[in-house]
Structure 1
């Protein structure tokens, strides 16, 4: 699994030069000045006595927070963390606010003030509005998500989130992991099934409300099931786990440090393709902002407090990264022919794992690059946890993601691809 160090160093330098990590400060200053903000709402509770509380929405909220906090000017978390989540994320509960309507609106006002000031200064603010929890569709067809003190409807989303925010941002990215989230964003009407889903979702997303806001992009878990897909082995929702893996860099198919919507969609499609158990299948939809369909959901080339793990060409297969608390941060199935860079929060220890091995490493500071080709590997044992656990463990991320899968996916979906640059020929 190891390559000569000089070869690894060359590949590392070339890859990181390709998306700006090794740019001189003067060159970085010429890049567009983007400021990022994140509002994360995570609520386990259900208001419907027929619907059980979720177990891991608060865990997803905490993990989204830790992903965005090192990159954003301000990250706000609205969640009540249970005892286990507080133990895994010490100190975070003191920074979280309850996921109520009043707290949501106050958080938006706070962020909008900062983003308006950034925009007045000539910067380009970007807001991530993330919800994970219960969703539902009312009798009249309108979707809503569940806050601690009531429902937050599609009408509320447009009136109280999108309309007041869009004047202050360059882009607004909505990421919603909830049942029936399609109806939380879209016009009323029946959600089709089968091949017609993608075309009809696109049509409705371009309809009367959303077309007025070309700065808005959406990433939705469109499942109509009564229960979200949660995976106890990783204490997280499957959709949110895949989204975070993609944003951490696993979906960056052309190694430019940016994850665009087409890359995220193709990555999740490949991650879910091998799951045959119908209980584990995800229905998702993503649409980039019409104003700029190449707008990145994630830009690891921007200056941030993240460190980086480089997995060079050569190693391939299913891999994941967990920290020493047992929190799984990213998972992917790597093609051998491409190198991969992941952004990871600094100041903690990690394990890079495969189904049979693990290697420990530490990211001590932001912008540090850890070369996986120099790590020492030891044996790893994995335990089974039941039928659906086996379906996720054995088949989720079982399909390799890289330029080949991506090219086929975007061609079949009729999407505009990101530029795919051939890697340097470093063979002897």
Structure 2
């Protein structure tokens, strides 16, 4: 009986050793919007930390349980997070551990600013140095700008530059800084985050893959982020921001940060130099990714599955393409995919660019009202959609039937109306609220149940009434995109008509809800 137990123990130990032999990547990402009293709050630090987490989780080999993200932490919170990272690291041998640390927030040449607290870089380096890891990659992003420069802190001292000499104790370390000595880093509302972080993450998503091998190395990611950050800040704010890199690194092979070949979807840009491509999620004005085309190779961007709008900006050939990427799909963009747009509309509208202004939809719904306690019927709707306002027209028909005390009542109501609607969009969904004049035609029939008996006696067993009734209607309409042109929606409306029935003028109220399917063209 002992032998099976011994064999089981050996097997468990072997499996545990194999599990421990697997390399692990650990991330601590910090975003802090608050600084000292003279520093303005920042807008995008949480998004920056989340962006870095997402790219390293999806393409950089960081498991979900190994990604620690802190939003506006205290110094004690940071210490606790690093202790968690230390605990995870100690379940592996040091040569199996890679540690990433990212910070977005206020700072100066000596410390990070956590509101009124400061965390000296020497303390940070000491805490990171205690975590057993083969390699430590530290990324610090400082003061940023909107397209009118907004700096992190706005003070006249060096903006978040690290003294490299003080970091030499961190063996096997890489320190990437968003700016050089004496410079402020910048954030951009158009990019939705820190300029350097945006381009570094974009590079890790595939734009920095200079040799097209499906892997982004440390040197490739930094070179791409450096060039794009300098270019963007020099043109938007006239104050160039130059990232810097400090290495205490021993490499036997290029350090691969991400692999783009195993991502959800890939977008391959045309082989053409001096052309800028900017990617937006549909309905968003925030840049998701961007890259410059190359003559000698095709640039590949890794993206999650979804709907995107790609701007192309080239001399005399500005345009945009709308596309739907499925999970695992590789999509090659071609020149015919792009429709011409002016540079002004591209710059102003981003991912809210309208490709198809016309919309048609059909539906079948239910209705309640004075003449029809319960009815049902079809509806057809056409709309011309502008940037914020939409003109729409609809026609519909409602059938209803009910048994009254002495007769069966059947009615049909034809309706036609036009409306002006205000539209709000978010991603692949939109919501419209509007109203306008409507005209209804009522055809009402009352039939006695003893119709045959009455007919033998020469009496009419059926009474019909028809009337035209003008009125107004208010409606709410929500639609969700099913692709680049197809959509589904829900239309809810209320109608008030003035009608003459039985010799008296009446106000008839109706309500209806209609699920719809449609297409844009």
Q: Shorter chain as normaliser: what TM range? A: 0.5 to 0.7
Q: Deviations for 1:70-124, whole angstroms, at most 9, x for unmatched residues?
A: 2421322212xxxxxxxxxxxxxxxxxx42222222222223322332437xx83
Task: Indicate the residue corresponding to 1:372 in structure 2.
Answer: 333
Corresponding residue to 2:322 among 357, 360, 369 = 360
Q: Following superposition of structure 1 onto structure 2, how do residues 234-273 of structure 1 map, counting pairs within 5 Å?
A: 234-271=191-228, 272-273=230-231
Q: Following superposition of structure 1 onto structure 2, how do residues 107-146 of structure 1 map, counting pairs within 5 Å?
A: 107-119=81-93, 124-137=96-109, 143-146=110-113
Residue 293 of structure 1 deviates from its aligned partner by 7.5
Instruction: Decide whether aligned partners of structure 1 residues 38 and 370 sit closer, same or farther in structure 2, where only a CA change above 3 A counts.
Output: farther
1:322–1:352 Cα contact (<8 Å) kept: yes
Instruction: Decide whether aligned partners of structure 1 residues 43 and 337 sit closer, same or farther in structure 2, where only a CA change above 3 A counts.
Output: same
Instruction: Decide whether aligned partners of structure 1 residues 320 and 385 sit closer, same or farther in structure 2, where only a CA change above 3 A counts.
Output: closer
Q: Deviations for 1:135-170, whole angstroms, at most 9, x for unmatched residues?
A: 124xxxxx111124611111221222x2122x2x23
Corresponding residue to 1:163 among 129, 133, 144 = 129
Q: Following superposition of structure 1 onto structure 2, how do residues 11-410 of structure 1 map, counting pairs within 5 Å?
A: 34-47=23-36, 49-71=37-59, 72-73=62-63, 74-79=66-71, 98-119=72-93, 124-137=96-109, 143-148=110-115, 150-160=117-127, 162-165=128-131, 167=132, 169-179=133-143, 180=158, 183-184=161-162, 186=163, 205=164, 207=165, 209-223=166-180, 228-271=185-228, 272-273=230-231, 275=234, 279-292=238-251, 294-296=253-255, 298-300=257-259, 306-314=264-272, 317-324=275-282, 326=284, 327-344=286-303, 346-355=304-313, 356-365=318-327, 367-373=328-334, 376-383=337-344
Higher strand content, 1 or 2: 2
1:361–1:375 Cα contact (<8 Å) kept: no
Higher radius of gyration, 1 or 2: 2
Q: Distance in 1 between matches of 2:108 and 2:199?
A: 22
Residue 173 of structure 1 deviates from its aligned partner by 0.8
Instruction: Decide whether aligned partners of structure 1 residues 163 and 119 sit closer, same or farther in structure 2, where only a CA change above 3 A counts.
Output: same
1:154–1:183 Cα contact (<8 Å) kept: no
1:39–1:129 Cα contact (<8 Å) kept: yes
Instruction: Decide whether aligned partners of structure 1 residues 40 and 70 sit closer, same or farther in structure 2, where only a CA change above 3 A counts.
Output: same
1:247–1:297 Cα contact (<8 Å) kept: no
TM-score, with structure 2 as normaliser: 0.52
Residue 330 of structure 1 deviates from its aligned partner by 1.8
2:264–2:305 Cα contact (<8 Å) kept: no
Q: Following superposition of structure 1 onto structure 2, how do residues 411-422 of structure 1 map, counting pairs within 5 Å?
A: none
Q: Which has the higher contact order (CA 8 A, sep 6+)?
A: 1
1:259–1:297 Cα contact (<8 Å) kept: yes
Instruction: Decide whether aligned partners of structure 1 residues 36 and 151 sit closer, same or farther in structure 2, where only a CA change above 3 A counts.
Output: same
TM-score, with structure 1 as normaliser: 0.62
Residue 250 of structure 1 deviates from its aligned partner by 1.2
Instruction: Decide whether aligned partners of structure 1 residues 220 and 256 sit closer, same or farther in structure 2, where only a CA change above 3 A counts.
Output: same
Cα RMSD of the aligned pairs, angstroms, is: 3.3
DSSP-derived class of the 1:69 partner: helix
Work out the number of aligned pairs and report it: 303
Q: Deviations for 1:214-250, whole angstroms, at most 9, x for unmatched residues?
A: 3211110235668541222222221111211222221
Question: Which runs of no fewer than 5 residues in structure 2 stay unpaired?
Answer: 1-20, 144-157, 349-521
Residue 341 of structure 1 deviates from its aligned partner by 1.9
Question: Which runs of no fewer than 5 residues in structure 1 stay unpaired?
Answer: 1-31, 80-97, 138-142, 187-204, 390-428
Q: Structure 1 stretch 229-238 or stretch 111-120: which is displaced more?
A: 111-120
